[in-house]
Each structure stands twice: as structure tokens, then as C-alpha cells.
Amino acid sequence: MPQQVRAVVARAKGEPVSVEVIEVPDPGPGEVLVAVQACGVCHTDLHYREGAINDDFPFLLGHEAAGVVEAVGPDVTEAAPGDFVILNWRAVCGECRSCRRGRPQYCFATHNATQKMTLDGQALSPALGIGAFAEKTLVAAGQATKVDPAARPEAAGLLGCGVMAGIGAAIYTGEVGRGDSVAVFGCGGVGDAAIMGARLAGAAKAIAVDLDAAKLELAERFGATHTVLASEVDPVEAIQALTDGNGADVCIEAVGNPKVLEQAFYARDLAGTVVQVGVPDPEMRIELPMIDFFGRGGRLKPSWYGDCLPSRDFPMLIDLYLQGRLDLDRFVSETIALDDVEAAFHRMERGEVLRSVVVIDQDGAA
């Protein structure tokens, strides 16, 4: 029987989101129904509300989530009712040209639920194919990754997007290694996760760059060894000064700004790596002298979701968290209710939080 649940919906471009009662179908073949326990508020949800991703309104927002599998469709073997899962937006297909060449981390045809969740009979577009600001959500079985249930849902769910994107930008895309110097531009949730990832990989220096001194203080708690206040000093010169005049081995852009990408490009050592994880607007342009592109060598690498593989990385990172080696709790600035998402967007815009996390009491849920 389809279920009626409460959920956060963006009905029209730029309008405040509202909590609505939506209908969620029973899971069909290849699908699972998840009772959501926690879901982080990410910048991408706001991008959807503003119509910056596409015009497929109404959107069912929310995508950084953890919960418990309630029911599975016929023939589903990857998940079972009662499993504690983190949702992901990279349910690898195994069949596209990238998967077939052994590069599932770039899968070009990731799976989502085939049935639609609806509002008054109208199909909803779930953010990143998830839609987890909802008491229950329907996803493809491969989107629900089982992890150790000892993890706190508010912290675990954050691995589903921004924190994984940041950690992966350092350890997979940037291939940070022992002894490397790493500079991270932009110390929001994604940048701080990149700092944590760089430290985990053995970086000797982790240089945090931000315009906001309060963000730099937080970055130090995530493991930054040095900080650069880019509103007061030239970050390229400051990073060179901190690396014997050479620049950092790996520079990670976690803002989504062409000026910052240019700084990251010039702040790296010869043959170093630039990773861009910040998401640009379609109008943004970069222009570089071709001789600098050639003459500095190395690698410029965009990073989608930190080049992660959820089935490999979520259980491993949750184990590190439970051992006290990965401080996911520090990303949780506050816990809120479904009704508070619109206000949380404003706190995010003012830079007051790393992550507001919606917590859903499943005992009280419809």
C-alpha cells in the first residue's frame, strides 16, 4: 500500500520550501523503501530550490541521509529490512562504458528508483535522485549502503554527499600521500572534510584558506596545520611562504569560484595537482596563459563526489569514525525538524553553520 508521509518540497523557483504530505509507493523491483532518521542540509538543496540545477519542479529536497530499510522490492538482495544505511547518489550500474572499463567511480548511468513519489498526483523530482527530507523515501537498492548501526545517524548521513566529496577530493582525486603539502581553499563542510581527508592520507602540511576567520578556527579543529585569511593576505604568496617558496603539492578548490581556481592553480608546486570540487555556475569562465598551463606541468582534476565508491568507502569511513579517527560529529552544527529547513537555508547562506541536520523521530512518524 502506498504511504502518505511528510516531506520538504520546493514547488517553484526561488519560493520558500514547504512541508507537504506526499505519497510514496511500495518498493518495486530493484527498489528499497527507507525510513529516514537524519538528513543534512546541503548547498545543493538550495541550488535546486533556486532553479540553478534544472526546472523540473516540484523537487523533493534532501540527499545527505541515513536511515533504516523498511521494505525491499522483489528480487532485491543488496539490502534487507532493518539494515542501517547511508543513501548515495552513485549506485553504480556495472554496464556503462566507464564501468565496463573498470572505472565504476565515474559511472555514467547510476541507478535511481524507477517509480515516482508524488504530491497531489504530480510526480516529484528527488534531489540527486534521493529526496530524503521525508519521513520515508524510495531509492534504488544500490543507493542504500549498509554500515555499522552503532554510528549516530546525524553524523553518518553526512557521508552521503558533502563530507564524502571533500574526503574523496583529497584521498582519491588529489591522491594526497604521506608528507605532501596540501592547501584547501574554502573551509565549509566540503573543505573541512578535504582537510580531514588530507590528514588521514598523511599530509605533512594542511593549509586552510578562507575569507572568514571563524571558518579558519574551525578548520584547525579538523586538522589544518596552517591558516590563511584570504580577505587580508594574497593566498598564493602566503602558501608559497609556508612551503619554502614552492607552493603546495595538492591545491583543492572547495568554493566554486573562478578567481579561487586561479589562486589554486598558481599556489601549487611544479608538477603538482589542482582538484576542483566546488560547483561553478554555468556563466563562470577561467582564462590562463597556455604557457603557464604547460610550464607548470602536473594535473588539473575536477572531482565528482570525491571519486568515491559508496560500497567501498561508506563502511570503511564509518569504521574509522567509530574508532575515533574521523570526527564526523564535528560537522553537525545543529539538529532541526523537517519544518525548519527553510530557516536553515538562511543560516547556511549567512555562513553560520557547517551542517544543519534534520532529525526525524521514526516512532512519531506517520
Phi-psi region of 30 (alpha: psi -120 to 50; beta: other; left: phi over 0): left
| Distance of closest approach, residue 193 Cβ to Zn ion, in angstroms | 11
Compute the C-alpha angle 246/250/253, nearest 5°. 115
Q: Report the DSSP beta bridge partners of residue 210.
A: 229
Residue 26 φ/ψ, nearest 5 degrees: -65, 150
Regarding 257 and contact with ligand NAD (CB under 6 A), the answer is yes
By a kind-dependent CB cut-off of 5 to 8 A, residue 303 interacts, out of Zn ion, ligand NAD, none, with: ligand NAD
By a kind-dependent CB cut-off of 5 to 8 A, residue 107 interacts, out of ligand NAD, Zn ion, none, with: Zn ion
Regarding 309 and contact with Zn ion (CB under 5 A), the answer is no
Q: How far is residue 219's CA from residue 189's CA, in Å, rounded to a whole number?
A: 10
Residues 265-294 that bind ligand NAD (CB under 6 A): 277-279
Q: How far is residue 193's CA from residue 188's CA, in Å, rounded to a whole number?
A: 8
| Distance of closest approach, residue 30 Cβ to Zn ion, in angstroms | 15
Regarding 71 and contact with ligand NAD (CB under 6 A), the answer is no
Measured between alpha carbons, how far is residue 191 from residues 78, 263, 331 in Å?
Answer: 32, 15, 11
Residues 4-43 that bind Zn ion (CB under 5 A): 42
Regarding 86 and contact with Zn ion (CB under 5 A), the answer is no
Which residue, among 349, 334, 266, 340, has the nearest Cα to 300 in the 3D structure? 266
Regarding 157 and contact with ligand NAD (CB under 6 A), the answer is no
Regarding 107 and contact with Zn ion (CB under 5 A), the answer is yes
Regarding 358 and contact with Zn ion (CB under 5 A), the answer is no
Q: Give the length of the chain.
A: 366
Q: How far is residue 129's CA from residue 301's CA, in Å, rounded to a whole number?
A: 25
Q: Which of 68, 211, 320, 365 binds ligand NAD (CB under 6 A)?
A: 211
> Which residues contact residue 294 at a Cβ distance below 8 angstroms, ignoring those fewer than 6 apart?
none
Regarding 197 and contact with ligand NAD (CB under 6 A), the answer is no
Regarding 333 and contact with ligand NAD (CB under 6 A), the answer is no
Is the dihedral angle over the CA atoms 213, 216, 218, 221 positive or is it negative?
negative
Taking CB atoms, the residue at the shortest distance from ligand NAD is: 188
Binding mask 302-321 toward ligand NAD (x if CB under 6 A, else -) reads: -xxx----------------
Beta strands in the chain, from DSSP E residues, in sequence order: 3-10, 18-24, 31-40, 59-60, 64-72, 84-87, 118-119, 122-123, 125-126, 136-140, 144-146, 181-185, 205-210, 226-229, 248-253, 268-276, 299-302, 332-336, 355-359
CB-nearer residue toward ligand NAD: 78 or 253: 253
Q: Which of 76, 161, 239, 344 binds ligand NAD (CB under 6 A)?
A: 161
Q: How far is residue 113's CA from residue 275's CA, in Å, rounded to a whole number?
A: 31
CB-nearer residue toward Zn ion: 70 or 334: 334
Regarding 159 and contact with Zn ion (CB under 5 A), the answer is no
Regarding 145 and contact with Zn ion (CB under 5 A), the answer is no
Of the ranges 114-122, 172-180, 254-262, 326-334, which one interacts with ligand NAD (CB under 6 A)?
254-262
Regarding 167 and contact with Zn ion (CB under 5 A), the answer is no
Q: Which of 6, 90, 205, 215 binds ligand NAD (CB under 6 A)?
A: 215
Regarding 132 and contact with Zn ion (CB under 5 A), the answer is no
Q: Which of 28, 51, 256, 298 binds ligand NAD (CB under 6 A)?
A: 256
* Exposed/middle/buried for residue 102 (C-beta within 10 Å: 0-12, 13-18, 19+): exposed
Residues that bind ligand NAD (CB under 6 A): 43-44, 161-162, 165, 185-191, 209-212, 215, 230, 254-257, 260, 277-279, 303-305, 351
Residues that bind Zn ion (CB under 5 A): 42, 44, 93, 96, 99, 107, 109, 161-162
